[in-house]
Amino acid sequence: MKKYAPPWLALLAFPFLLSANPVKDAKDILIQSKVTGGLIVHLGCGTGDLLAELGKNERFLVHGLDQDNAKLKTARAKIEEQHYGRVSAERWVNSGKLPYSDNLVNLLVIEDAGELAEEEILRVLRH
């Protein structure tokens, strides 16, 4: 019997290249990951364009993390403007730990992992 890798592992192994079109990127990410619901974390969410697009899908709770307060202010304004109660963004101080319990995150979109170790990424991802 052939053993298949979980969809999130494919995203880690083959980095997804983001375009300048967050609508297309969100659609492509969800198609390629095959994730159908749950928690999406966008690490390095920046000004929130992709974060807001991922939040349009009601099957997901979307949480953005970024280290830049100015970018977070913009991201939060976009979220508020679109009235998404399932989307949030907060400051993440890269201490080498993600603020989630083990196996909680269904999909982790990483634009800026900083010093985060692969073991920490795998710890939070749902198996």
Q: Which domains does the chain have, with CATH numbers?
A: 36-124 (3.40.50.150)
Which residue in the block uniquely carries the two structure tokens 């990127």? 25
Q: What is the mean pLDDT of each run of 10 residues along the chain (127 residues)?
A: 48 61 92 92 93 92 95 94 87 90 94 87 91
Q: Give pLDDT, residue 37.
A: 94
Q: How many helices (H) and strands (E) does the chain have?
A: 5, 4
Q: Give pLDDT, residue 10.
A: 46
Q: Alpha carbon of 115 to those of 37, 40, 52, 90, 112: distances in Å? A: 28, 20, 25, 18, 9
Contact 102, 80 (CB under 8 A): no
C-alpha dihedral (16, 21, 23, 24), degrees to nearest 10 = -50
